[in-house]
Structure 1
C-alpha cells in the first residue's frame, strides 16, 4: 500500500484521545517480580525500563499510546503498549476505542516525529493536549472528505481512517518473531563465582578506526552494494546509515566480527558485517569473539557507559583498563582451571567462552540471533 500524505488532515491529541491518564509510579514504589512492565522515559525497548510485580493501585490499562513527556534523550517519543503496565510519572497514556495494535503502531510512529520540538528543558506534558499531527482521513466515494457532524475528532469534522492505518501496517513485510527456546531450559547463571578480568588482557587488538566524513558518502537506496556506516549513535547497532560501497576508500573498510565503541559516548555494539566508521570510533578484536560471546561481554561493557561522557571519553586506555567479571573454566572438582601462561589474567584464570556462548544460545530468542 502506498502512502499519500497530501490528503491527510490535522488532529489534536486531546481530540484523538478523549482519555489521557498520567503514569502513577516511581521505582521506589515497585515490588520485585516479572509479571508486569515498568514503562517510562526510555526510547528503546518500547519504553520498558524493568519488569516488576503487578500492583492494581498503580497499574495502567494497555491498548494505548504512551507519550514520553519528560526525560533527557527520550522526551518526544511515543510507543504503542498492548498490555497492562505500570507507568512512571514521565509518561501519559492516550486511549481511544478504535485503537488496536496495528493502527496504534502507525499513530505512535507519526507522533514520534514531534520529538525534535521537545527536550528535558521543554517538556511535552505541558503541550501534549494541543499537539497536532497529520493522519490519514476518511473520504467519501466521490473523493470528498467524510465530515462528522459531531466534530468528535476535529473542529472541522474530519475523521481518522482507522481502517487504512490498520491495513497499511498489516501490508508491511513482517512475520512475528518466534523462538523454540523455553525459559526453563535456560543455562543457569551464578555471578557470585565470577572472576575479575582486565579487558585489555582478553582481546588481541584495540585501535582507532580510520574515520570517514559522512559528507563524503552517499546514502544507499538498497542493501545491495552498500556498507554500514558506524558512528557514535546509540540506535540501530551504531549504524547511522548504509553508504554506497563504491564511494568508500577500500583501505578504510573494517572486516566483520568486531566490537565497536564510540569513545565520547561509550556506545558499544557487535558488528557482524564489514563496515566503515565516523570519527572517534574504537574497534576491538579477539580470537574468542563471535556474535554470542560478544552479546555476553557487551552486557558488561554497556554497564560502563554511565562513567563516560563528552567531558570524560571512553578512550582506548580506559577500555583496556576496564574490569569485567566473567565465568571462568573449572576442573571437574570445581576448582579453577589455571593457565600457566597467564594469557587472560595474572592469576591464570581462563574465561569460559564456551559457557557464555551456550548461555546466550539458550535464552528465549537465542535461537534467532
Structure 2
C-alpha cells in the first residue's frame, strides 16, 4: 500500500527555531530534519494562532537527514521540509514504529540531495506482518554489568569563550553533485547538511577544502563533525579551522 492510503499527509509548519520562544518546561516539541533525538531539537512555547500536530503523529524529514521518521509522543511544531503523517485509522505504537522503519529504508532513493516533498505519498509500504499486530513493547529496564562511575568535573575552572577566539570560521565552496559525478568516485568525502554518517554523502575524486577541521551544518540542526581528510561540500556547510594544534581525538 502507498503511504497516502494509510496516513493523512500534512505539510509541516515551516517555522524557524530562531523565531520561536524556547521553553524547556513546555510540553510542545520542535521537530527538524535531523536523525538525532527523535527529530526533536527543542521545546517551545505554543503559538495561539497555530495548532501543533498531535502526539502520536509521525514526523518525516523530506530533506537533510531525508526520510528520518519518528513517532512523536507529544504535540509538535516543525521546521522546514518536515511532514506529519496521521494514521487514517487507529494504530498501535508497534505498528507506527514498523512503518517508520519501512519509510527510512527508502532513504537511498533520495541520495545526492534529492528531497521527498512531492513523492513521499507514493512510497509503497509492505503489509503489516502478523507479529507486528500483536507485538508488545517491553519497557522494563535493560540489565547490564556495566557499573556507573561518576567522573568529577572541575567546573569551577571552566570559562566562557567565543568560537572565533579558537577557530577561524568561514564558509565552504558549494559543489554541485552533478559536477562531482563528472569527476567520478574517489577518496575525498562530500560533506552535506545531513546529521548521519559524519555528514558524508559519498566519496569523489575531487576536493575544495583542506581537512583537519570541524564542519557545521548551518541549515538544519547545526550538526557538527570532524573531517580528517580534504573534502568538498554542499550548500550551507561552514568550516571551523582551528587556531591551535588539532587531531582527531
State the TM-score bracket (shorter-chain normalisation): 0.5 to 0.7
Kindly indicate whether structure 1 or structure 2 has the higher relative contact order, using CA contacts under 8 Å at least 6 residues apart. 2
Write 1 or 2 for the structure with the bigger share of helix: 1
| Distance change in 2, residues 1:116/1:134 (3 Å) | same
In the alignment, structure 1 segments of 5+ residues that lack a partner are 1-10, 138-160, 179-188, 198-231, 236-262, 268-302, 323-369
Alignment match of 1:121 (pick from 110, 113, 126): 113
8 Å CA contact 1:82–1:101 kept in 2: the answer is no
Q: 1:121 offset after TM fit, Å?
A: 2.6
Rg: which structure is higher?
A: 1
Q: 1:88 offset after TM fit, Å?
A: 1.4
TM-score between the two structures when normalised by the length of structure 2: 0.57
* Counterpart position of 1:22: 11
Written as runs of structure 1 = structure 2, the 5 A alignment for 1:1-369 is: 11-17=1-7, 19-24=8-13, 25-34=15-24, 35=26, 36-56=28-48, 57-71=50-64, 74-96=65-87, 97-119=89-111, 121-136=113-128, 164-168=131-135, 170=136, 174-176=138-140, 194-195=158-159, 233-234=197-198, 305=224, 308=227, 310-311=229-230, 317-319=245-247
RMSD of equivalent CA atoms? 4.0
| Paired residue total | 174
In the alignment, structure 2 segments of 5+ residues that lack a partner are 143-152, 162-195, 200-210, 216-221, 232-239
8 Å CA contact 2:212–2:247 kept in 1: the answer is no
| Distance change in 2, residues 1:90/1:70 (3 Å) | same
Distance 1:95 1:16 in 2: 9
| Distance change in 2, residues 1:196/1:33 (3 Å) | closer
| Distance change in 2, residues 1:304/1:16 (3 Å) | closer
| Distance change in 2, residues 1:306/1:110 (3 Å) | closer
